[in-house]
Chain A
Amino acid sequence: MEVLSAAFAYLTDAQVWAVACVGLAVGLTFGILPGLSGVTTLAILLPFVYGMDPVIGLAFLLSAHAAVYTGGAVTTILLGIPGTPANAATLADGKALAERGRGSYAVGSALAASALGGVLGAGVLVALLPLLQPVVLAFGAPEIFLLGLIGVTYIAVLGQGAPWKGLLAAGLGMFLALFGYQRISGVPRFWMDIDYLLDGIRLIPLVLGLFAVPEILAQLRERTLAATPSAAPTHWADMGRGAAAVLNRPLLFLRSALIGVFVGVVPGIGGETAPFLAHAMAKRRSRAPGTAEGLIEGVIAPESSNNAKEGGALVPTLALGVPGSSGMALLLGGFILLGFEPGPSFLESHLDIAALLAVLLAGTNVVAAALMVPLAVIVARMARVEGRHLGPALLALVVTGAYASGGSLIDVGFVFAFGVLGVIMKRLDYSRPALVLGFVLGPIVETYFFITLQAYGPAFLARPLSVALLLMLVAAIVWAAARTSAKRTPGKPGT
Chain B
Amino acid sequence: MKPDALFPVFVGGLALVFLLLGWIGYGYDRQVMLFPTMVCGLLCLFAGAELAGRRTRRPQGSETGTGPGGDLVTLAALVPVVPLVWLFGFLVGLPLFVAALVKLRGAGWPAALSMGLGTMAFVHVFFHVLLSQSPPMGILG
Contacts and interface: CB of A to CB of B under 8 A. Distances in A.
Interface of A: 162, 164-165, 167-168, 171-172, 174-175, 178, 182, 184-185, 187, 189-190, 213-214, 216-217, 220-221, 223, 386, 388-389, 391-393, 395-397, 399-400, 403-404, 407, 409, 412-413, 416, 419-420, 423-430, 442, 446, 449-450, 484, 487-488, 494
A416 B57 contact: no
B131 interface: yes
Interface string B29-57: 00110011001101100110110010011
Contacts of A450: 31, 35
Given A187-B28, A392-B115, A488-B56, A428 B63 contact: yes
Contact of B98 (A175, A395, A403): A395
A416 B18 contact: no
B109 interface: no
Contacts of A171: 11, 15, 39, 42-43, 46
Contacts of A430: 7
A180 to B, nearest CB: 12
A395 B35 contact: no
Contacts of B4: 428
Contacts of B95: 396
A389 B42 contact: no
A292 B53 CA distance: 40
Going nearest first, the 5 A-B pairs with the smallest beta carbon separation are: A388-B105, A427-B68, A164-B50, A168-B46, A429-B62
Given A395-B101, A424-B3, A430-B7, 10 more contacts: A187-B32, A217-B75, A388-B105, A389-B111, A391-B105, A392-B102, A396-B95, A416-B82, A419-B78, A487-B58
22 contacts: A164-B49, A168-B8, A168-B47, A171-B42, A184-B31, A185-B32, A187-B32, A213-B75, A217-B78, A223-B105, A388-B102, A388-B107, A392-B98, A392-B105, A395-B81, A400-B94, A400-B126, A426-B68, A427-B71, A428-B3, A487-B58, A488-B58
**B interface secondary structure, majority:** helix
B24 interface: no
Given A187-B32, A189-B36, A424 B68 contact: yes
A162 B53 contact: yes
Contacts of B105: 220, 223, 388, 391-392
B86 A424 contact: no
In this complex, the member of B3, B47, B68, B136 whose beta carbon has the largest number of chain A beta carbons within 10 angstroms is: B68
B50 A393 contact: no
Contacts of B119: 392-393, 396
Contact of A428 (B49, B53, B62): B62
Contacts of A216: 78
A403 B136 contact: yes
B31 A185 contact: yes
Interface of B: 3-4, 7-8, 11, 14-15, 18, 21-22, 26, 28, 31-32, 35-36, 39-40, 42-43, 46-47, 49-50, 53, 56-58, 60, 62-63, 65, 67-68, 70-72, 74-75, 78-79, 81-82, 85-86, 90, 94-95, 97-98, 101-102, 105-107, 111, 115, 118-119, 122-123, 126-127, 131, 136
A55 B79 CA distance: 35
A409 B72 CA distance: 21
A410 to B, nearest CB: 9
B78 A393 contact: no
B50 A420 contact: no
Contact of A400 (B40, B42, B90): B90
Contacts of A419: 75, 78
A392 B101 CA distance: 7
**A interface secondary structure, majority:** helix
Nearest to A443: B35
Contact of B107 (A389, A404, A484, A488): A389
Nearest to B74: A217
A15 to B, nearest CB: 14
B108 to A, nearest CB: 11
Contact of A393 (B28, B39, B57, B98): B98
Contact of A220 (B18, B74, B131): B74
A174 B111 CA distance: 43
A479 B72 CA distance: 36
Nearest to A412: B82
A430 B115 CA distance: 34
B39 A399 contact: no
B53 A164 contact: yes
Contacts of A399: 81, 85, 94
B67 A427 contact: yes
B71 A175 contact: no
A251 B101 CA distance: 51
Contacts of A391: 101, 105
B53 A484 contact: yes
In this complex, the member of A185, A216, A423 whose beta carbon has the largest number of chain B beta carbons within 10 angstroms is: A423
Contacts of A494: 58, 60
Contacts of B42: 167, 171
Contacts of A393: 98, 115, 118-119
Contacts of A217: 71, 74-75, 78
